[in-house]
């Protein structure tokens, strides 16, 4: 995943300080997620036995996502695709659940604090502050990077300080600090795993969450938005980012159109569909991002 620092701050962190949800004894959830059923161990020795390696259960879960995505790419018929899609949905949900039961490493980097002047007139740094890094995803949204291991963190930034926290706390911190997404192990392609806006609550609560493209209610919501349009023959939804690396929109909406539509008619159909989908509460709640793939030729 190609991630860059926010241009407004160059190589400096976007925000200074640590969100309250990462601080021991901090305030309650400000992201609107219910506290019921969640407990977090803030004790300083909570991770005393941590060797800094990727938690085994999460590594297995990410491997399962990669294997399922490869199987989907290799499916040669409708039945094979159906089975592969089911396996991929299960792998995505399993990875969110596995991550919720793990610790992650939040990278903190030092940036200059107060400056002073020596007796001989030299400017010196009197203090440093630790900051959480905010990065940009391919679509320009704010992403919170976290890491499953010391090795992947050092490969990304050798100077970052790893702070171990429970993954649900990282989800709360992301929501509290207006990050729409979390990326685990950016810069290590075989380990990268993205948590989208719509999965943050499941991660915080330790719940399974099926991806939007596997949700029958989401599929019906997209279909209902174009039912009255005579130019639309069918809709289907498929994964846009099968490997869950935040490389593309979450959902691809395949829009089957009457053949040989002229460009003006095609544009009108897409605009009507977009308006209907934007107003649908299920789509707004459960779909992180989408791309429309019209089928049928434009004349």
Query: How do residues 123-166 score in pLDDT, each as one tens digit?
Result: 554 445 667 788 888 888 899 999 999 999 999 999 888 999 99
249/238 Cα distance (integer angstroms): 11
- Least confident range from 5-14, 207-216, 227-236: namely 5-14
Nearest to 107, CA basis, from 61, 165, 190, 62: 165
All domains of the chain in start order, with CATH = 4-16+51-109+135-205 (3.40.1350.90), 212-295 (3.30.70.1350)
Confidence of residue 93 (pLDDT cuts 50, 70, 90): very high
Beta strand 181-184 with 142-146: parallel, antiparallel or unpaired? parallel
| C-alpha dist (Å) from residue 227 to 220, 258, 273, 295 | 10, 14, 10, 16
> Token pair of 100, please?
């919720």
> Token pair of 161, please?
């300080």
Question: Tell me, what's the pLDDT at 37?
Answer: 46
Cβ-contact 30, 176 below 8 angstroms: yes
Q: What is the mean pLDDT of the chain?
A: 83
206/200 Cα distance (integer angstroms): 10
Cβ-contact 111, 12 below 8 angstroms: yes
Q: With 80 as the cut, is the pLDDT of residue 277 above it? A: yes
Q: With 80 as the cut, is the pLDDT of residue 26 above it? A: no
């Amino acid at each position: 995943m190609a991630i860059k620092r926010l241009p407004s701050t160059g190589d400096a962190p976007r925000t200074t300080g640590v969100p309250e949800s990462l601080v021991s004894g901090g305030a309650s959830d400000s992201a609107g997620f219910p506290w019921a059923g969640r407990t977090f161990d803030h004790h300083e020795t909570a991770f005393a036995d941590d060797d800094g390696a990727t938690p085994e259960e999460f590594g297995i879960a990410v491997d399962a996502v990669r294997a399922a995505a490869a199987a989907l790419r290799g499916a040669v018929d409708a039945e094979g695709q159906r089975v592969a899609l089911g396996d991929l949905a299960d792998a995505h949900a399993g990875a969110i659940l596995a991550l919720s039961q793990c610790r992650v490493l939040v990278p903190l980097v030092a940036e200059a604090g107060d400056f002073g002047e020596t007796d001989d007139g030299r400017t010196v740094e009197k203090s440093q502050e630790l900051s959480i890094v905010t990065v940009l995803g391919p679509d320009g949204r704010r992403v919170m990077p976290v890491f499953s291991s010391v090795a992947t963190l050092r490969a990304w930034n050798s100077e970052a300080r790893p702070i171990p926290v429970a993954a649900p706390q990282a989800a709360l911190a992301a929501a509290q600090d207006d990050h729409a997404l979390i990326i685990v192990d950016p810069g290590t392609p075989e380990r990268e795993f993205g948590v989208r806006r719509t999965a943050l609550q499941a991660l915080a609560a330790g719940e399974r969450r099926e991806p939007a493209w596997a949700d029958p209610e989401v599929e019906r919501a997209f279909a209902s938005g174009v039912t009255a349009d005579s130019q639309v023959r069918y809709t289907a939804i498929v994964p846009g980012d099968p490997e869950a690396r935040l490389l593309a929109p979450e959902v691809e909406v395949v829009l089957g159109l009457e053949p040989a539509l002229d460009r003006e008619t095609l544009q009108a159909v897409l605009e009507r569909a977009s308006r209907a989908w934007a107003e649908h509460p299920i789509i707004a709640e459960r779909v992180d991002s989408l791309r429309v793939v019209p089928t049928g030729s434009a004349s």
